[in-house]
């Protein structure tokens, strides 16, 4: 049987693309990446209020016209109205998988893949513990081998540090970044650790500058955003991982590695984020970062692969 044709449809946001593409790849698909960016007023409206989604495409959108694929994996609220229209126009021939909680009736999709902390259920809902992603043990091993020489100078234990920042739920305050800098510097001085650090756009220039200044002269490698991204290598080469708790994606990706994952909590949070972190701690997957490296063993998170296998079974390929 030939492989179904497929799209990944998102608004182009990196986190959305990674989740949808990761799930499509785990299903064994070779998806085309399609982008839909809504223009005003649609981008401000919930998807159920989009009367004519084909008119809503704004600058940066790609071609989402026919011929439509056999399967679309979508992520992000702005993709909902377009994929539902395609599903309707194709008379159901195009099967739609939505990743995350769509906040509308999941029965309107063929499958919904939702994280456990969203508390979504239904006969066509596949529940995962975090965010589905592109991280696999094979990808980590390949990139670890590719980048190994670049980090040979770093002492062990090697600690990968992934830092997010301000969001709708969290704030990376001055007090938080100061404490994180102090704790990371202590790992180097007290434990002889080497650090592999990556930040995000949400970290902010001032916070990144503070990190670099406070860790100057210590064995810490900062990825500057140029050249090949060593993110997967960071996860594969680490002995320990410290990640800020503002991103379900970052925590979920770290847990695929099987390495001890310490979560540095920022100020703020929501009930859903608290459920997410409480569930992981209760299962023995993560521990809070308190400036000390702890060792424990857990089964690496394989929810993306597990849910993808079930999706293939249900869709019959």
Mean pLDDT by 10 residues, the chain (317 residues): 91 92 97 81 56 52 82 93 90 96 94 95 95 96 96 96 95 96 98 97 94 96 91 98 96 97 96 95 97 97 96 93
Shared-domain flag, residues 105 and 153: no
Inside any domain, residue 293: no
233 with 282, same domain? yes
Q: Is residue 296 in some structural domain?
A: no
- Please tell me whether residues 101 and 152 are part of one structural domain: no
299 lies in some domain = no
Q: Are 141 and 274 contained in the same domain? A: yes
Residues 109 and 145 in one domain: no
Residue 92 lies in a domain: yes
- Distance CA(124)–CA(8), nearest Å, equals 19
CATH at 54: 3.40.50
Is the domain of 124 the same as that of 264?
no
- In this structure, are 173 and 219 located in the same domain? yes
Four-residue CA torsion sign, 308, 314, 298, 203 = positive
Residue in the block written with tokens 């499958």 = 111
Q: Are 206 and 261 members of one domain?
A: yes
| CA R_g for the chain | 20
Q: For residue 22, what pLDDT is reported? A: 96
Domains in the chain, number: 2
148 shares a domain with 265? yes
Q: Compute the distance between CA of residue 19 and CA of residue 55 in angstroms, rounded to an integer.
A: 26
Regarding whether 118 and 149 lie in a shared domain, the answer is: no
139 is written with which tokens? 């990808």
pLDDT of residue 38: 67
Q: What is the pLDDT of residue 62?
A: 62
Whole-number pLDDT of residue 225: 85
Q: How far apart are CA 169 and CA 171, in angstroms?
A: 7
- Per-residue model confidence (pLDDT) at position 42: 56
Whether residues 63 and 192 fall in one domain: no
Q: What is the pLDDT of residue 258?
A: 97
207 and 311 both lie in a single domain: no
**With left for phi above 0 and alpha for psi between -120 and 50, is residue 228 left, alpha or beta?**
beta
Q: Is residue 298 included in any domain, yes or no?
A: no
Expressed as residue numbers, the domain containing 46 is 6-129+304-315
């Amino acid at each position: 049987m030939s492989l179904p044709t497929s799209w990944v449809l998102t608004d182009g946001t990196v986190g959305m693309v990674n989740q949808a593409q990761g799930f499509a790849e785990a299903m064994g698909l070779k998806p085309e990446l399609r982008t839909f960016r809504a223009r005003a007023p649609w981008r401000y409206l919930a998807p159920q209020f989009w009367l004519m989604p084909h008119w809503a495409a704004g600058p940066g959108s790609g071609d989402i016209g026919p011929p439509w694929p056999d399967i679309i994996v979508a992520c992000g609220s702005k993709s909902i109205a377009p994929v539902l229209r395609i599903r309707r126009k194709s008379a159901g021939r195009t099967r739609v998988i939505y990743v995350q909680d769509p906040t509308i009736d999941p029965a309107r999709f063929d499958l919904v893949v939702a994280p456990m902390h969203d508390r979504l259920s239904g006969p066509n809902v596949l529940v995962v513990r975090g965010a589905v992603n592109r991280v696999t043990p094979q990808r980590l091993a390949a990139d670890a081998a590719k980048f190994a020489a670049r980090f040979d100078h770093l002492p062990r234990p090697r600690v990968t540090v992934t830092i997010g920042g301000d969001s709708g739920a969290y704030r990376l305050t001055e007090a938080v970044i100061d404490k994180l800098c102090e704790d990371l510097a202590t790992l180097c001085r007290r434990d002889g650790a080497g650090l592999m650090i990556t930040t995000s756009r949400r970290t902010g220039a001032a916070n990144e500058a503070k990190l670099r200044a406070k860790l100057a002269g210590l064995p810490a490698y900062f990825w500057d955003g140029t050249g090949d991204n060593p993110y997967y290598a960071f996860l594969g080469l680490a002995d320990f991982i410290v990640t800020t708790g503002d991103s379900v994606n970052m925590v979920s990706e770290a847990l695929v590695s099987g390495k001890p994952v310490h979560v540095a909590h920022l100020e703020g949070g929501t009930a859903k984020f608290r459920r997410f972190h409480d569930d992981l701690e209760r299962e023995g997957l993560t521990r809070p970062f308190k400036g000390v490296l702890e060792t424990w063993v857990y089964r690496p998170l394989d929810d993306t692969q597990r849910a993808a296998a079930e999706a293939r079974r249900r869709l019959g390929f």
